[in-house]
Each structure stands twice: as C-alpha cells, then as structure tokens.
Amino acid sequence: MKRILLATLICTLLLTGCTSTTQPENKPAPKPESTTAPEQPPAIDPGPVKLSIKEAGEYYLKIVCQANRAGSAFVDARNEREAEYLNGGSPRVKALREAAAEKVRLTRQTIELIDDEYYTWPGKSREPLLLVRKSDMSYLSAYQSIMNAKTYEEAYQVTFPELPPEVESAAQEVRYQLKLDADTSKSCKGYRKDNDKIYAEMLKRNELLGKSEASE
C-alpha cells in the first residue's frame, strides 16, 4: 500500500511540475474600423432660384449700391480739378483715372450679376433690369477711355452717350417694381462692399456647380 501511495505522489508531483505557470499575454483588442463617412461638401441648389419681391429688392441693392458709390466718387474726382482745368491749369489726372478704373471694375461685375441666370426675378422687374444693364454697357466705354487717359484734359473731353428716356429711368422702374425707396442714397445705406461679396459668391457657386456637373 505504501508503494502505491508513493507512486501516486510522485506522479502527482511530476504532473504538477509539468504545468506551465506563465499567464497568457493579454493583447489589446483591435480597434474597430471607423464607419464614419467622409465629410461631404454642403449641397448647393442648382437653381434657378425664384426670388420674392423682398429678396429681389435686397439683392438688387447689393448689386448696384457699391457701383453707385463708385460713380459718385468718379464725379467728385472730376469736379475737384475741373475749375483748375477751366482756368487754364493742367491738373493731375491720377485720381480721376483711379476713380474711373474702380467704376469700370464694378460696372463689369454688375453686368455679370445681372446676366446670372441662377436667380429668377419676380413680376415685371426683369425687363427694366435689362435696361439698367444696357445703360451700364453704354457708359462702360467712356469710363474705360477716362481710365486710360494720359492727361486730365484728355479725360475731361470724353463724353458719355445720351440714352433713351426709358433707359435713363430704368433704375427707378426697377425700384418701383421691387418696392424700394426711390432715394438711392437713403436706400443704399449699409450696402458698402456687397457687389464684391455677391460677385465672389457667384464665382464660387458656379465653380462648385461646374465640378458637380463634371463629376456626374
């Protein structure tokens, strides 16, 4: 019996000694792959977008007020040296040329904004708006000549074309259709750099819409 017990004890010790005491390595669980979709650019209405009378009125002021202010600055620059020129002097033309250049820049932007078909103008406002465009286009050549003039005399001699009455009154007709104040100075308060702003927005929008169409 003692031999049997001893043999059993030896086997037990041997088996115990063969058992590994090393704990298994706890490896971190793999992180699940992100299922978040990549951020998409904001959706843009491809247009045309129909403007209400109120929306169109505000947009019209954003188009014309900065250009109107540039026109007033041009007249001021011309008048500032007019007396000197008429009294036989040779005024510097730099300020007048710069004022004309700014008017040319904003007039071109105004024409492009009016031509933009992204917005649909309400009621009967579109027809006189196109006459405003015609007026701007008619005067553009004269402003460009003054912008390129070498002397004040050369700039002063540039004449602006006479326009038909319906073209001259077109801006007021637009204001009437859009229920805006006829006083251009009063209604344009607060609209300082809006032509530049909405022109940049138009270019960006056209670029994004162009990319969308190209990718389809």
Q: Is 118 a domain residue?
A: yes
d(CA 117, CA 46): 11
Higher pLDDT, 210 or 176: 176
**pLDDT at residue 151, as a whole number:** 97
Instruction: State the burial class of residue 105 (Cβ atoms within 10 Å of its Cβ: 0-12, 13-18, 19+).
Output: middle
| CA 96-201-60 angle, 5° bins | 65
Q: Is 12 a domain residue?
A: no
Q: Is 23 a domain residue?
A: no
Query: Buried b / exposed e across 145-184, counting CB within 10 Å, b at 16+?
Result: ebbebeebeebbebeeeeeeeebeebbebbbebbebeeeb
Which of the 8 DSSP states describes residue 160? P
**pLDDT at residue 3, as a whole number:** 46
| pTM score above 0.75 | yes
35 pLDDT tier (thresholds 50, 70, 90): low
Question: Structural domain of residue 150, as residue ranges?
Answer: 49-215
Q: Which of 8-22, 36-50, 86-100, 188-202 is least confident? A: 8-22
d(CA 15, CA 7): 12
Mean pLDDT over 21-50 rounds to 64
Q: What are the pLDDT digits (tens) for 150-169?
A: 999 999 999 999 999 999 99
Q: Which of 18-32, 44-58, 98-112 is least confident? A: 18-32
DSSP assignment of 20-89 equals --PPPP-PPPPPPPP-PPPPPPPP---SPEEPPHHHHHHHHHHHHHHHHHHHHHHHHHHHHTHHHHHTT-
Judged against a pLDDT cut of 90, whether residue 211 lies above it is answered with no
Which of the 8 DSSP states describes residue 161? P
Which of the 8 DSSP states describes residue 120? E
Total number of domains constituting the chain: 1
| Cα radius of gyration rounded to whole Å, the chain | 38
Higher pLDDT, 41 or 192: 192
When the pLDDT of each residue in the chain is averaged and rounded to a whole number, the result is: 86
Question: Which of 175, 52, 170 lies closest to 121 in space, CA to CA?
Answer: 52
Q: Is 4 a domain residue?
A: no
Q: 167 near 173, Cβ under 8 Å? A: no
Strands (E), 96-139: 119-120
**pLDDT at residue 9, as a whole number:** 40
d(CA 74, CA 89): 20
Judged against a pLDDT cut of 50, whether residue 6 lies above it is answered with no
Which of the 8 DSSP states describes residue 119? E
